[in-house]
Amino acid sequence: MSECRLPPLAENQFTPEQKQAHDEFVAERKVGFSGPWHVFVRSPELLTRTHRVGEFLRYRCSLSGRLSEFTILMVARHWTQDFEWGAHRKHALAAGVTEATVAAIRDGRRPSPLIPEEEIIWDFVSELLATRRVSDPTYDRAKAQFGETGVVELCGLVGYYSLLAMTMNVARVAPPAGETPLPRFPE
């Protein structure tokens, strides 16, 4: 991977708006300011609004942590986004996604076996990312399993993590320390 196009800015060089967005993020999330956030800080309002959407989708949406992390890995693999993959691989495993499932997603294969909820999400997310739409049978299965709220939040997860992935791919954000880049597929 080439050098990061939008490397982290020194905090002592933040504008007042950047400092405020940074400080609010750190106070609320209580995690490091890395990955997409050092890119988004260049647009403090976008950082703040994106962070708020992510906080809801990651921690309070109706899908379980396991299903959310499963979805995030699918999106990271689709976009071949190394930071997103590296940051969420461990979260997915901790949430109960199996090593075999993680490996299959990494390798671009449909995991087998899948529990019914994962199968529905695999079909929905794969179809959405590949065709930019979802067929009636796929939609109906997702709605029956997760309800309308779950379907909307699943779309939100795909869209939100696609936004992060695209932004980090443009910025060329490296994977987290100790994580290896995803295998590249022919494009």
CA distance 130 to 29: 32
pLDDT at residue 1, rounded to an integer: 53
Return the CATH class of domain 1-187: mainly alpha
> Is it the case that residue 79 has pLDDT exceeding 60?
yes
pLDDT at position 31 is 74
Instruction: Give pLDDT, residue 58.
Output: 87
Percent of the chain whose predicted confidence (pLDDT) is above 70: 99
Q: What is the pLDDT of residues 106-152, one digit of tens each?
A: 999 999 999 999 999 999 999 999 999 999 999 999 999 999 999 99
Q: How sure is the predictor about 187, in pLDDT bands with cuts at 50, 70 and 90?
A: low
Task: Please report the pLDDT score of residue 33 as a whole number.
Answer: 87
pLDDT at 186 over 90: no
pLDDT in tens, 1-34: 579 999 999 999 999 999 999 999 999 887 778 9
Dist CA 176 CA 82 (whole Å):
8
Q: What is the mean pLDDT of the chain?
A: 95
pLDDT for residue 29: 84
Where residue 185 falls among pLDDT bands split at 50, 70, 90?
A: confident
Angle between helices 65-78 and 136-171 (to 10 degrees): 60
List helix spans (H) across the chain. Answer: 16-29, 36-40, 44-59, 65-78, 82-95, 99-106, 116-131, 136-171
Q: What is the dihedral of CA 117, 109, 152, 135, to 10 degrees?
A: -100
Q: How confident is the model at residue 64 (pLDDT cuts 50, 70, 90)?
A: very high
| Tokens standing for residue 182 | 């995803």
Range of lowest pLDDT (21-30, 62-71, 72-81, 129-138): 21-30
The domain spans of the chain are: 1-187
Question: Any idea which residue has 């950047």 for tokens?
Answer: 18
